[in-house]
Amino acid sequence: MSSLPQSVHIVFIPLLAQGHMIPMVDMVRIFASRGAVATIYTTPVNAHRFRTTVDRSSELGMPIRLVEIPFPCKEVGLPVGYENLDILPSPELLAKFYDAMGKLQKPIEKHLREQTPAPSCIISDRYIFWSSETAQRFGIPRFVFHAMGCFSVLSAHNVKHSNCSDSVTSDMEPFEVPGMPKGFKITKAQLPGNFVRQQDFEVFRGKMQEAEMAAQGVLFNSFDELEHGCVEAYQKTIGKRVWCIGPVSLCNKDESDMFQRGNEASSDAEKCMVWLDSMKPRSVIYACLGTLCRLAPSQLMELGRGLGASQQPFVWVIKRGEGDSELENWLMEERFEERVKGRGIVIRGWAPQVAILSHRAIGGFLTHCGWNSTLEGVCSALPMITWPLFAEQFVNEALVVEILRIGVRVGAKVPVRWGEERKVGVLVRGDEIARAINALVSGDEEGEERRKRAAELGQKARQAMQEGGSSHSNVSRVLQYIMAGPTQEVV
């Protein structure tokens, strides 16, 4: 473990959602392994998910403090225990959830005042806009963490600040995203920001933007070689330091770190790892659609049909809250698990995704293109079957399929809105899913080239995180910036 010449104390404040907390905990471990004291604030339910990981890192000598602040559910009218976005049953509770997050500011500041060494920098999620005020109060710099890729953040910015979509006659007509180092098209329907219908979100978005403008820089869980010039372009656009410091999931090197990442693994997971040991290298498709979107049972049945029809070995993750009685009845009536025995396995609950993706038996990833999943697929050198659901996932799909050329689309055209999944029903049919899987595993020239590109990209991802690599060097730059003190020039 490297040590810093002076006491650097970095404070991490994540958004309480798995896709944001998981990479931030990895970041905590990366900075702590370079000698910084790292404090991460969270709430009891979330701390429970990460405690083992943090304890193991502390035992290895990393100076990490995991601080639990009670989540004021009662105060804002949320049911007790609703401390993570993946627990909220409906978007109607979102405003209360953000309200409760805002109420963490005071207790966090109180706790910070009592800390030695005093905090020297805040790295907080983009959603935690109030931490900008906290940083000013303590006279320390703040870096914004975007839990998305720079490619999608730059795309969203460029679409917003241009009239590029004015000429299209429908929400389904593709238009070119301007100002991108490598061009691509998208439709209005697929633009980020379509996940939730929420009236107050514009006000919230404004506050996040203001806080980003006041920050000293922006950090991405990504690596320069993946972003194809977007980092430089975004840096120029916002006039601030923009540093890629990932893929952060690569800090999970030993099996326990990979297996216990983000939550307690489902009891099906051990069985799955043993089964994978018995499978041929690069033969199994891993299908997991993230932590937030709970698709309609009819849509999940189509996914089951597609996996069944493809004839390819598979692991299918059904998350908690999705495996409701309608889907379970279908699985039983169809004798699904019996029929696919030996060829397919279902994990109900939390899958140790990074451990599974790193297994030599996995040959493809059917993903919703959440940014973390996309990067984790890249790290494992996997070609991907892309099924974007919402938020910036259609942009990530364009990156994977058109720019990186390591993916095959299932053909999703419009996003699924949170809370409206059942209304939408089936958007992607089983036969389309089977077709995409078969195209991905195909031994033809296109399939081989795709696998080759995925292998090369995986190699670049690992190099970025090694000493001398782009992301490793960027972590050093962040640390140097912090050590130079608060009077340093911003740009």
The residues near 491 (Cβ < 8 Å, ≥ 6 apart) are 239, 240, 241
Work out how close the CB of 26 gets to ligand UDP at its nearest, in angstroms, rounded to a whole number. 9
Work out how close the CB of 147 gets to ligand UDP at its nearest, in angstroms, rounded to a whole number. 7
Partnered with residue 384 across adjacent β-strands are: 365, 407
Q: Which is nearer to ligand UDP, 65 or 319 (CB)?
A: 319
Q: Which is nearer to ligand UDP, 120 or 372 (CB)?
A: 372
Answer yes or no: are the C-beta atoms of 228 and 457 closer than 8 Å: no
Q: Which is nearer to ligand UDP, 155 or 373 (CB)?
A: 373
Choosing from 217, 246, 290, 364, the residue that interacts with ligand UDP (CB under 6 A) is 290
Q: Which is nearer to ligand UDP, 142 or 368 (CB)?
A: 368
Of 211, 231, 228, residue with least CA distance to 219: 231
Work out how close the CB of 291 gets to ligand UDP at its nearest, in angstroms, rounded to a whole number. 3
Work out how close the CB of 106 gets to ligand UDP at its nearest, in angstroms, rounded to a whole number. 28
The residues near 234 (Cβ < 8 Å, ≥ 6 apart) are 150, 153, 154, 157, 218, 242
Work out how close the CB of 369 gets to ligand UDP at its nearest, in angstroms, rounded to a whole number. 8
Look-up of token digits 């979509």? 165
CB atoms inside a 10 Å sphere around CB 459: 12
Q: Which is nearer to ligand UDP, 31 or 387 (CB)?
A: 387
Work out how close the CB of 23 gets to ligand UDP at its nearest, in angstroms, rounded to a whole number. 7
Q: Which is nearer to ligand UDP, 301 or 379 (CB)?
A: 379
Work out how close the CB of 390 gets to ligand UDP at its nearest, in angstroms, rounded to a whole number. 8
The residues near 215 (Cβ < 8 Å, ≥ 6 apart) are 132, 135, 141, 142, 143, 144, 240
Write the binding mask 107 to 146 for ligand UDP: x where contact by CB under 6 A, - elsewhere. Answer: ----------------------------------------
Write the binding mask 313 to 332 for ligand UDP: x where contact by CB under 6 A, - elsewhere. Answer: ----x-x-------------
Total chain residues near ligand UDP (CB under 6 A): 20
- Residue 38 gets the label, from left (phi > 0), alpha (psi -120 to 50) or beta, of beta
Answer yes or no: are the C-beta atoms of 396 and 152 closer than 8 Å: yes
Q: Which is nearer to ligand UDP, 135 or 400 (CB)?
A: 400
Choosing from 53, 131, 252, 291, the residue that interacts with ligand UDP (CB under 6 A) is 291
Work out how close the CB of 124 gets to ligand UDP at its nearest, in angstroms, rounded to a whole number. 17
Q: Which is nearer to ligand UDP, 216 or 353 (CB)?
A: 353
Q: Which is nearer to ligand UDP, 290 or 297 (CB)?
A: 290
Work out how close the CB of 483 gets to ligand UDP at its nearest, in angstroms, rounded to a whole number. 30
User: By CB under 6 A, is residue 262 in contact with ligand UDP?
Assistant: yes
Work out how close the CB of 236 gets to ligand UDP at its nearest, in angstroms, rounded to a whole number. 27
CB atoms inside a 10 Å sphere around CB 258: 18
Q: Which is nearer to ligand UDP, 119 or 407 (CB)?
A: 407
Q: Which is nearer to ligand UDP, 138 or 371 (CB)?
A: 371
Site for ligand UDP in 339-378 (CB under 6 A): 350-351, 353-354, 370-373, 376
Site for ligand UDP in 14-73 (CB under 6 A): 18-19, 22
Work out how close the CB of 445 gets to ligand UDP at its nearest, in angstroms, rounded to a whole number. 30
Q: Which is nearer to ligand UDP, 299 or 372 (CB)?
A: 372
CA distance 247 to 30: 11
Work out how close the CB of 182 gets to ligand UDP at its nearest, in angstroms, rounded to a whole number. 22
Work out how close the CB of 161 gets to ligand UDP at its nearest, in angstroms, rounded to a whole number. 25
Q: Which is nearer to ligand UDP, 143 or 316 (CB)?
A: 316
Task: Tell me which residues touch ligand UDP (CB under 6 A).
Answer: 18-19, 22, 261-262, 288, 290-292, 317, 319, 350-351, 353-354, 370-373, 376
